[in-house]
Amino acid sequence: MSAEVVAETAAERTAGMAGVGAERTAETGGERTAGMEVGAERTAAMAGAGAEHAAGVAARVRRGEGMRADARRNYERLLAAAGAAFAERGADDVSLEEIARRAGVGIGTLYRHFPTRQALLEAFYRDQVDALGARAAALLEADSAGAALADWVAALVVFGKAKRSLTTALLEVLDQDSELLSSCRDVLRDATDELVVRAQRAGAVRADVRGSDVMRLAHALSMAADMGQDPGQADRMLALVLDGLLSHGGRPAH
């Protein structure tokens, strides 16, 4: 973790309050009111009053629900910028100021959506898993069950590579059994199980394969690809794994 990120983590609440205060001066009355409401909710939560309500608001903010159109755009731009930065250097070596610059917004806007670095990491992780869940739902409707499973395994490998440093950063605060990590694991496990069973019913996958086998294989591939020096090795290894999983009729065309 860089010195910049360490210093930022220690000072982020102060910086966030200052940044939000500076930007609110130029904002519309509606946004100013929304900012005041968020501040009031934070105070109530810290004091122990209305904790359940504050938790519900926080959950909706994490999902970007109930936002004005411009706020929603900024939220999505920040998550996209975070993803690009994390992919380049890892989640533990990118400052929030850099993410805000990449997104084309001020640091106050970032802190209004994500009061802490941890809040951004959690929102980004959940967003990635939600996107995978949506992809799995679409694959369950695909014509070829075997090709759908092959696409899913490839998606899990890509996700595994991207999430490694992110998971490490999350576990500095969260437990493996936290609501966030547990619910995200459930999404990926259930989707994998459904895609495997569907492919088996279609005769496209070996009958002895389990969803947990597929997830472990995808995890191993992502780790191997991350450590390898050969840029083409990851694709060759994925092809070998798929060749072992799929029956002849279930293999995707190359």
Alpha helices in the chain (DSSP H): 3-24, 29-47, 51-63, 69-89, 96-103, 107-113, 117-139, 145-170, 179-201, 211-227, 233-245
Q: Which range among 47-56, 73-82, 88-97 has the greatest average pLDDT? A: 73-82
pLDDT of 168: 78
Between 250 and 26, residue with greater pLDDT: 250
Q: Using an 8 Å Cβ cutoff, are 167 and 86 in contact?
A: no
Residue with tokens 């569907």: 198
H or E segment to which residue 229 belongs: none
Instruction: State the Cα–Cα distance between residues 185 and 254, nearest whole angstrom.
Output: 31
Mean pLDDT (whole number) for 131-158: 96
- Which percentage of the chain shows pLDDT scores above 70? 71
Q: What is the pLDDT of residue 65?
A: 60
Mean pLDDT of the chain: 78
Least confident of 59-68, 175-184, 209-218: 59-68
- Give pLDDT tens digits for 229-253: 777 888 899 999 999 999 754 555 5
Residue 86 burial (CB < 10 Å; 0-12/13-18/19+)? buried
How large is the average pLDDT for residues 6-29? 46
pLDDT of the residue at 52: 37
Percent of the chain with pLDDT over 90: 49
* pLDDT reading at 203 higher than 50: yes
Cα 160 to Cα 2, 164, 254: the distances in Å are 23, 6, 24
Q: Report pLDDT for 19.
A: 47
Residue 164 backbone dihedrals phi, psi, to 5 degrees = -60, -55
Q: What pLDDT does 66 receive?
A: 67
- The pLDDT value recorded for residue 9 is 52
Q: What pLDDT was estimated at residue 247?
A: 79
Give mean pLDDT, residues 148-172. 86
pLDDT of residue 90: 81
Predicted confidence at residue 228, as pLDDT, reads 66
pLDDT score of 99 more than 90: yes
Predicted confidence at residue 64, as pLDDT, reads 54
8 A C-beta contact, residue 146 and residue 205? yes
Band (45; pLDDT cuts 50, 70, 90): very low
Q: Which of 66-70, 85-89, 175-179, 208-212 has the highest mean pLDDT?
A: 208-212
Average pLDDT (30-56) is 40
Q: Cα dist. 44→35, 39, 115 in Å?
A: 14, 9, 15
The one-letter code for the residue type at 161 is K
Alpha carbon 40 to its chain centroid, in Å, reads 28
